[in-house]
Amino acid sequence: MSKNLTLLASDLVATGVQRAVYMHPLDPTKLIKVLRPAAQMPARNNFNGVVDRLFPSTRLRQIRKEYTEYLRVMLAHPEPDFRMPMSHMFGFVPTNLGLGCLTESVLKADGSLGETLGAIVKAGRLTQAHIDMLNDTVERIYANNIRASDMNPNNFVFGHRDNGTGPGPEECVLVDGFGDIHAIPVRSMARWSNRMGLDDSCTRLARNTGLQWNKRTRQFSLSE
């Protein structure tokens, strides 16, 4: 029997509605996402909140959809030089807080966690270099027909990923919010329907960050 990894409060790096994210206690290139106890979740009266309360098992649906999307994209691109715009996933690991989803971390050059697009915008430090990296990631999301259902500013992280021999180049990575999590999986029905969904997601992302979104070129730019 494998021994549970012990996650400490000091390892906590982010808390979402459904999951809490911890640094791996033994491997700084990995993060562990753990489903939050139902009692600790914020009260929500929207559709998703009501469904979570009435049908607790649906909380696992997001995890299944996330892994399904990751597997779909990776199996379609076995080439060794494929640049995945999403964070890589490495299965599950038992922890003292329950089953954890193991994923890669995106780090700064000094080894600390990379910054989210939301944090950079809030601090007023967004540069053209950030925009170029974001556009590169968005271009690959479209090119690979990735079903990204929650492209909010906190799900894009800038930094370096471990490439097996050390830190890779600086880039922008979609670390969460991928997979067709909608009750009616419209994005999975056809490539055109997913592109419409991505267009809407990018429009919202621009609105939430103060950026400009060009629907024709599918590129972001700094507001004039």
Digit-coded pLDDT (tens) for 49-107: 445 554 556 667 778 888 999 999 999 999 988 999 999 999 999 999 999 999 999 99
215 part of a folded domain? yes
Strand partners, 35: 19
Report the CATH number that the domain containing residue 148 is assigned in CATH: 1.10.510
Count H helices, E strands: the chain? 5, 10
How far is Cα 149 from Cα 206, in angstroms, rounded to an integer? 15
Q: In the Cβ-directed half-sphere of 130, how many Cα atoms lie within 13 Å? A: 19
In the chain, % of residues over pLDDT 90: 67
57 part of a folded domain? yes
Average pLDDT score over the chain: 87
At 165 the pLDDT is 77
34 part of a folded domain? yes
How far is Cα 157 from Cα 134, in angstroms, rounded to an integer? 9
Residues 16-42 have a mean pLDDT of 85
150 part of a folded domain? yes
Residues 213-224 have a mean pLDDT of 91
Show the tokens assigned to 73: 């994209």
pLDDT grade, residue 124 (50/70/90)?
A: very high
24 part of a folded domain? yes
At 179 the pLDDT is 77
156 part of a folded domain? yes
65 part of a folded domain? yes
At 43 the pLDDT is 56
pLDDT over 50 (residue 1): no
3 part of a folded domain? no
Domain count, the chain: 1
Digit-coded pLDDT (tens) for 173-196: 999 988 766 656 667 767 888 899
3-state helix, strand, coil split of the chain in percent (to 5) is 35, 25, 40
Domain that holds residue 181: 9-221
Query: With left for phi above 0 and alpha for psi between -120 and 50, is residue 164 left, alpha or beta?
Result: left
pLDDT over 70 (residue 47): no
The whole model's pTM is what? 0.87
